[in-house]
Homo-oligomer: A and B are copies of this chain.
Amino acid sequence: MKTDTVFKRAFNDALGLIARLPDGAPLPSENRLGAELRVSRTTVRKVLTALAERGVVSGEGRRRLVRAAGRAAVEPFPEVETVPMAAHVERSFMEWTLRDDVRPGTAINERELARRFGVATTGIREFLNRFQRFGLIEKRPNAGWVFKGFTPSFALELFEIREMFELRSARAFAGLPAESPKWRQLGELRQEHLDLLGDVDRRYHDFSDLDSRYHRLINSAAPNRFIDSFFDVITLIFHYHYQWRKHDERERAAVAIREHLTYIEALFTRNIAIIELACRAHLATARETLIRSTAREKAFGGGSGTARAAGGPA
């Protein structure tokens, strides 16, 4: 059966929305709410019914009002029930590979993962098919999947492409006309970097998101769907990687922020040679960090997961 995470997320968001309205205020129209909550009217109506049942809104049809009295008592749905299955599976999979230190070459068993993650095999299959493009798994028809692993060669291949793409985008960015709004956005990001650097001891874990937004801005100078798609790979890898390798996290973030700032200044000069220098320097550091971490993963023992040997049929 389809999960109702969409409804539950929308319900929770609606609670937040209502909290900002005064007692007795009229509710926005169903269409407006739909746009706000990013769901169809069907789901909006379901949310409204649920809110009415809990006494947070009163009235019917066009005459629905906010009831402040009920607001405090209403429990939102627990966070876990609002995450879509696809996201849950992705997260579970990445954590499985990282926590259990799954070895390169390990066979992936659909049924076992389904059991482990608490979903039907269909969900696993769908995830694996989508995830294939990330280069970490490989399909052997009629014989399952193989986990190829966070190996040093994975990191090297990833960064070879990343460097090509990033240099190309940085050059495109430098060529943007002075009146492009992207220069302003770049300035804003510079400020965000400075703010984060000033408070890096407490907020270093915010860097992952800032990093992604920065590189996304650079890429947006000359959009290309294949580059965007590749950047999804980077984002995913770094997201989980940062989450998992806590060692020296603060220090690594601080270094990266400073490199970004140099890179940003370089962009403002619009001098290609200077830009390439800053860009390459930053990517080299990032590559070293990732490679060091893959090597470490390999050196450690462990590897609990499914471990059927992986070879062709026959």
In the complex the two chains form, is B157's CB within 8 Å of A84's CB? no
Residue A181 is within 8 A (CB to CB) of chain B in the complex: no
Docked pose: A233 CA to B44 CA in angstroms: 40
The residue that A31 contacts in the complex, of B31, B154, B314, with Cβ under 8 A, is B314
Within A114-163, the residues touching B (CB, 8 Å) are 122, 125-126, 129-130, 132-133, 135, 141-142, 154, 157-158, 160-161
Residue A205 is within 8 A (CB to CB) of chain B in the complex: no
In the complex the two chains form, is B130's CB within 8 Å of A132's CB? yes
Choose among A135, A141, A224, A225 the residue with the greatest number of B CB atoms under 10 Å from its CB. A225
Q: Which residues of B contact A31 (CB under 8 A)?
A: 314
Q: Which residues of B contact A141 (CB under 8 A)?
A: 84
Q: Which residues of B contact A35 (CB under 8 A)?
A: 314
Residue A168 is within 8 A (CB to CB) of chain B in the complex: yes
Choose among A130, A168, A226, A227 the residue with the greatest number of B CB atoms under 10 Å from its CB. A226
Residue A229 is within 8 A (CB to CB) of chain B in the complex: yes
Q: Which residues of B contact A273 (CB under 8 A)?
A: none
In the complex the two chains form, is A135's CB within 8 Å of B39's CB? no
Residue A313 is within 8 A (CB to CB) of chain B in the complex: yes
The residue that A230 contacts in the complex, of B84, B160, B226, B312, with Cβ under 8 A, is B226
The residue that A226 contacts in the complex, of B125, B129, B142, B158, with Cβ under 8 A, is B158
Docked pose: A142 CA to B40 CA in angstroms: 10
Residue A38 is within 8 A (CB to CB) of chain B in the complex: yes
Q: How far is the CB of A276 from chain B (nearest CB, A)?
A: 15
Docked pose: A161 CA to B125 CA in angstroms: 29
Q: How far is the CB of A95 from chain B (nearest CB, A)?
A: 22
Docked pose: A164 CA to B146 CA in angstroms: 30
The residue that A125 contacts in the complex, of B34, B126, B157, with Cβ under 8 A, is B126
The residue that A227 contacts in the complex, of B34, B125, B161, with Cβ under 8 A, is B161
How does the 8 Å CB contact mask read for A17-42 relative to B, with 1 for contact and 0 for none? 00000000000000100110011110
In the complex the two chains form, is B312's CB within 8 Å of A38's CB? yes
Q: Which residues of B contact A164 (CB under 8 A)?
A: 164, 168
In the complex the two chains form, is A224's CB within 8 Å of B160's CB? yes
Residue A6 is within 8 A (CB to CB) of chain B in the complex: yes
Q: How far is the CB of A34 from chain B (nearest CB, A)?
A: 3
Could you tell me which A residues sit within 8 Å of B by CB distance?
6, 31, 34-35, 38-41, 44, 84, 122, 125-126, 129-130, 132-133, 135, 141-142, 154, 157-158, 160-161, 164, 168, 224-227, 229-230, 233, 312-314
Closest 9 CB pairs of A and B: A34-B314, A133-B133, A129-B129, A40-B313, A157-B224, A135-B225, A161-B226, A129-B130, A35-B314
